[in-house]
Amino acid sequence: MSLISAPPSKVNNVKRDYVTLFNLNADDNACRLIEPRSLHEVASDKYSPFVKMMQGLLVVDSDSDAVPCSKMDVVDINVTCAAEELIPHEIRASQGIFFTGDQIAEKIALSLSEEISAGSSFFDPSCGAGNLLLAIAKSFPLKRSVLDTLDFWGKKFGGCDLSESFILATKLRLIALALRRHGLQKVSRQDLESYLRLFKSFEVADYLGTEFGADFDCIVANPPFGHITAPDGVAWSSGKTQQAGVFIAQALMVAKSGQRIAAVLPDVLRSGTRYQKWRHMVEQNSADLHVDVYGQFSKTVDVDVFLLSVNVGAERRVDRVDNWQPTVRRVLDSCVKLNALFEVRVGPVVPHRLSEKGKLVPYLTTHDAPPFSKVGRLPKINFGGTLYSPPFVVVRRTSSPSDKARLVPSLVQGRHSIAVENHLIIIKPRDGSLKKCLELIEEFKEERVADWLNAVSRCRHLTTKILADIDIVRERYE
């Protein structure tokens, strides 16, 4: 799902108008929630007044002039603002209803410029309000008349979504764009109904488990980022897994030879240790893999994403290249991996599993680990698990690319073995050297290290594998 934003100056007024609009429609029987069968239906019903308003804006002599936002442009209208105002956050979060920014949509459209010029066909398996398709249609070929253009577009664009209101919004915005590009603003109600019928390749349906989109030239997708139980037969994951990963696996499974897939996906699929098998699956079923690390999804959704582009059925390269890490870093000849000189482990204490068993020992948590400083006096707990003898360094596992410091280390000294909370990662010099600990803390302050971490993983949690792979300058530790 993507977003073509309204001009910033209109946003505040837009929000107020959406609220007013929803209140105006509160007594409309067609918009009431009458024992909905699913949260998707709730979302669709909540969004319905906004879609009706869009429909009215396109009709000549409609009653939309009575609506406060009647002067808005249907193409550039802020569909995200409407969703945030009309659909409760809990429903949007659980159903993955978060429309992306216009920058992502434009980047994907730009990457498909050759296909757009050639008039290729495009399918969005989670189309939302149609923003990815709209970004493509903005430079899609036109025909002699609006009718001819929409007849052509109806054969070239398709999509599905669980929300009926979202599907209708997508069709209306594509029609509005065609009208604008032909120099028109409104049409008769009869013409609008006939234009809507031209878009026959849109379905209110769950993409997973279907073969929708298999015959299209290109798949463009921003699938839900939530977690679902891995379907039967999935070899790359089990239990709870990323729904976005399942979407891409489905697209690869049903795609025709030569189909191109362009998608915006959560960064954990690119960099997470758990999804290494998913990445291998993508590599085995596609070619010309390209990754573009984007950054934070939006100002209101704190998830980092990347853009993935692959071709299905094309000849695969024999040589092994790690295309999932697109940023090329300069590695000095004097550098070694951190795990060559340090042992890297997650703290073994899980607080909610603590019992009164075991001997009384000092206990280190994030609360008692001062950033870039020495750990002081610690409380004690009874613990019978693995203890670590100082000196060593700990860093917080929670880490975001937006943080001022990506790595936040603390130095642990003393004579007694310590129990360490599992929200901390232990980095212990293999030779027990305090000097190595001090040098490591200084090296972690360097911008080079943070830049490398941001390129390798933009997830919100560090892993031992990522830290173990950091390049450190050997001569500093000799």
- Give yes or no for a contact between 295 and 305, defined as CB atoms under 8 angstroms apart: yes
Out of 196-205, 226-235, 306-315, the most confident range is: 196-205
More confident residue, 338 or 355: 338
Query: Model's pTM, two decimal places?
Result: 0.73
Asked, for residue 374, whether it belongs to a domain, the answer is yes
Reading across the β-sheet that carries 409-412, which strands appear in turn? Answer: 342-346, 424-429, 392-396, 409-412
The neighbour count for residue 210, using CB atoms within 10 Å, is 14
Asked, for residue 366, whether it belongs to a domain, the answer is yes
State the pLDDT at residue 399: 87
Asked, for residue 261, whether it belongs to a domain, the answer is no
Range with the poorest average pLDDT among 39-43, 109-113, 358-362, 444-448: 39-43
Q: Please provide the average confidence, as pLDDT, over all residues in the chain.
A: 85
Residue with tokens 């909370």: 421
Alpha-carbon span 418 to 389, nearest angstrom: 6
CA nearest neighbour of 420 among 460, 392, 462: 392
Beta bridge partners of 292: 307
Asked, for residue 449, whether it belongs to a domain, the answer is yes
State the pLDDT at residue 93: 77
How many domains is the chain partitioned into structurally? Answer: 1
More confident residue, 84 or 163: 163
State the pLDDT at residue 436: 96
Residue with tokens 């000196």: 391
Alpha helices in 157-223 (DSSP H): 164-181, 189-196
Asked if residue 334 has pLDDT above 80, the reply is no
Asked, for residue 277, whether it belongs to a domain, the answer is no
CA nearest neighbour of 71 among 14, 150, 151, 136: 14
Report how far apart the first and last C-alpha atoms of the chain are (Å, whole number).
52
Asked, for residue 28, whether it belongs to a domain, the answer is no
Distances in Å between the Cα of 399 and the Cα atoms of 224, 396, 406, 409, 446 are 23, 7, 6, 12, 16
Range with the poorest average pLDDT among 29-33, 113-117, 397-401: 29-33
3-state secondary structure of 193: helix
CATH of the domain at 347: 3.90.220.20
Positive or negative, the CA dihedral 187, 189, 191, 192 is positive
Asked if residue 402 has pLDDT above 60, the reply is yes
- Give yes or no for a contact between 275 and 242, defined as CB atoms under 8 angstroms apart: yes
* Residue 357 pLDDT grade (very low, low, confident, very high; cuts 50, 70, 90): confident
State the pLDDT at residue 34: 35
Asked, for residue 253, whether it belongs to a domain, the answer is no
Distances in Å between the Cα of 418 and the Cα atoms of 350, 372, 424, 426 are 14, 19, 13, 11
Asked, for residue 346, whether it belongs to a domain, the answer is yes
More confident residue, 208 or 80: 208
For residues 418-424, average pLDDT: 96
| Residue 392 one-letter amino acid | F
State the pLDDT at residue 18: 41
Domain that holds residue 452: 335-477
